[in-house]
Structure 1
């Protein structure tokens, strides 16, 4: 990932409302969520939600698809992994002891059902 792409993604996430939306979409998994459901879950007004989703999409962190009359939003997992890899690239000057807790977090199952990422 290029530095400018990382900055755009981090900038998009550097807002409480957008971070909440992104985390909600990450939890939603592959099925994603319709815009109306996102608005209800976050308590965000439709015009604000639209703006926030546009910023997240512009940074490549969310995708959308039309299903009938609904627009379904998903977290862009590949982009999220690229961003995390970029942040970890030079982690701890190669000192595995410092990075070990992060590796343990990454190795945990994604849900209580034991589903892995």
Structure 2
């Protein structure tokens, strides 16, 4: 994952409302959740919800599918895993180097 993509996704999740939406969709599983149910649970105006959903769709964290007259949102789990993998990929990479540098000279 490119750093700019990771930054955009983290920025999108940095908003409390978008983070709530995303967490609800992750909890909903592969079946996703209709926009109407998201609105009921969050108790926010449809226009506000639509604005936040657009932001999450734009960075690839969620997708939307029309099922008859219902718009259903789905968490993009591969994108989520990619973001988490990106965040932990460098975990402790410099630890050995730091330990060597911190040792007193013999």
Query: What TM-score results when the alignment is normalised by the length of structure 2?
Result: 0.87
Corresponding residue of 1:40:
40
Structure 1's unaligned 5+ residue stretches are 96-117
1:93 CA displacement: 2.2
Matches of 2:3 and 2:12 in 1, distance apart? 14
Secondary structure of residue in 1 paired with 2:66: strand
Matches of 1:45 and 1:86 in 2, distance apart? 34
Query: What TM-score results when the alignment is normalised by the length of structure 1?
Result: 0.79
Q: Are residue 51 (structure 1) and residue 51 (structure 2) matched? A: yes
Structure 2's unaligned 5+ residue stretches are 96-106
Corresponding residue of 1:30:
30
Which structure is higher in RCO with an 8 Å CA cutoff and minimum separation 6? 2
Secondary structure of residue in 2 paired with 1:90: coil
Matches of 2:54 and 2:7 in 1, distance apart? 16
Q: Are residue 16 (structure 1) and residue 16 (structure 2) matched? A: yes
Aligned length: 95
